[in-house]
Structures are given as structure tokens and as C-alpha cells.
Amino acid sequence: MIDFRPIALSDRAWIAPLLAGESLPLCNYSFPVLYCWQEAFGFGVARLGDRLLVRLESNVGPAYLWPVGTGDPAPALEALWQDAKDRGEPLRFIGLTFYHRNWLADWRPEAFAFAELRDGFNYVYKTRRLADLPGKKLHAKRNHIHRLDDSRPGWTWAPLTEADVPACLAMDAAWYTAALEREGEDVASLEQDHRAMALALEHRADLGLEGVVLRWPGAASPADEILAYALGAPLTESIFDVHFERARGEVQGAYPAVNRSFAQYVRQTHPAIEYINREEDMGMPGLRKAKLSYYPDHLEVNYCAVEAGDPEQLRLQCDGCAAVSDQVAAFIP
């Protein structure tokens, strides 16, 4: 049985190069995601040669990510196959790209049932579109920001620095407290999100995270000066991943403003970055609607696989999504 262990900040020194070895476009293959969300998803890591092995708890059961790295992946896949057997489980994978889905199908013909995990699709946008919000489709976003201009004249954005962290943590704590008071909220999910955000802010430099913060200098108190902030990091040579975003919900326009401002920051500081990945919607209707409203350039499909699985049961476990629906496809230009 493989000795999977929790992820430490110091592991970034060896994990990041292995992640870069395959440079996958899904947010699962990001060190900040693995570290900050490990309590929520039970991420555990191990190394086999030049491959990173990751075990986690998923909606299809205990599973593994694709063993990223360099060289022939077959030894790592064999090790995961045996690990699942030792645990008395079918071998399950999530976070598979189309290429790796097909790799598995060739490696063990007819051994796996595959399905698209719609809740895990990643929303990918051209950087310039988020930075400029051009055209009629994004007119509503520009109008929301104009309302922020009217209600908070003179608001500014700047790169997030270490000096901003205490104020951002305080804002997140206030967000968390207010969210707990709303009816119908998933308390466990809120706690996970709050914990992940705190880890990201507290260890921003060690995680390689960059960010922006929006301020209104005209605020009556320092507590009201921070309007929003966002954190992210390059995922590949051409994709920047926005990991975290927080805005004051009562301030109209704060969310689209921080979205646009962060895209402008990415364009200024990473001119080679062509796309921004705003990650998944986790099956949350409101979040799905919000991410579709920016008209993604494309959706990165997230496949799951279960060894010797019943295809119909797997389809139900994966939210019944065998393909991108017409409704979703209509949002993609």
C-alpha cells in the first residue's frame, strides 16, 4: 500500500516541477489547490520516480489524480492499480483530460467506465476579454462596474502585498460570519472555503500566489476601505489560474470590478498568458450562472474513470453529464 501523506509547504520544491512536467490545464494540477484544499478533499501525496501520486476523496469515491510528471506513466499507474487493490477498492480517477482518458482506455482496454464530470469542468476565458469586457455580450458587466464608479468614486486597484493580508483576512472573516447567518447555506462548504482562503492569504508568498486588492480611499473607516481582492498563479505557460476571489456582496459592481482588475494585472505582468482559468462551479447553480455570464472561450472537460464500473451508475454519480448541454454551449462564442 502506498504511504500517502499530507502536503507541507516545503513539498512545493519537488511537487511544482512535476506538475510543470505535464502542464495540465485543469486546476486540480496546481500546488495552491492541493495545499489549500487538502482538508476538504483529503489530498494525500507520494512520489514514485518522476511522477506525483495524489489520492483524494471525490464524489465517485476514493480516487486518484493522473500521476503527473515525466517519463513513462505506466509504472505509476501500475502502482496505483495495486494500491487500490490493497485497499479493496476499484481504481478510480478524476481530473482526467481527454488525452489521459484515452491513455487509460488504451492501457487497460475495457477495464474502465468513463464519464464527464460536469461539476468539475474548468471555465477558461481569453485574458483580453476579461481585461477589456468588449462587445454587447459583456455590456452588463461594464454597467455593473459603472455603478461601482458612481457609488465609490475614486476606487482603485493595486497588486496585493503582505501589508494587505490582515485586512483581507478580516474581510474574509466578516464574509464567513455573514454567510453562516443565511438560511440554506452549506455550513461545511462555507467552512472549507473560509479555511482555504485563510491558508492562501497566510502563505501567499510560499504558495507563489499573486493578487490584487480593490480599495475605496473615501471610506468612512479602514474596515470599509477594502472592496474586494483576488489571488491566483500561473497554471501553465499560457494559462493563469484564479484560485480565490472575494468581494463585498453589498457593494454593487465589486465582483465584476475585481474580476476585470485581476485580468488587467495578469495582462500587465504576464504578457505571454493568453487565457485565464476561473476554475469549476462545483455544481452550484448561482456560481455556474455567474461563470457562464462571462461567456467562456471554452470549458476544459474533467473526465472521471472507474475500474470495472457500471457505466449507468457512473453517469449518475457524475451528475448525469455525458456531454456539454446546449444551454451551456450557447454561452461559448
What percent of the chain stands above pLDDT 70?
Answer: 92
Q: What CATH code would you report for 122-298?
A: 3.40.630.30
**C-alpha angle 209/211/214, rounded to 5°?**
160
Looking at the predicted structure, is the pLDDT value of residue 272 above 60?
Answer: yes
Contact in structure between 311 and 113 (CB atoms under 8 Å): yes
Give the DSSP per-residue string, 78-95: HHHHHHHHHTT---EEEE
Listed in order, the ranges of the chain carrying CATH 3.40.630.30 are 9-121+301-327, 122-298
Strand partners of residue 52? 47
Summary mean pLDDT of the chain: 91
pTM for the model: 0.92
DSSP state of 52: E
Residues 35-54 pLDDT 10s = 999 999 999 999 999 999 99
Class of domain 9-121+301-327: alpha beta
Strand 51-58 relative to strand 44-48, pairing: antiparallel
Residues 59-92 pLDDT 10s = 889 999 999 999 999 999 999 999 999 999 999 9
Cell of 254: 465589486
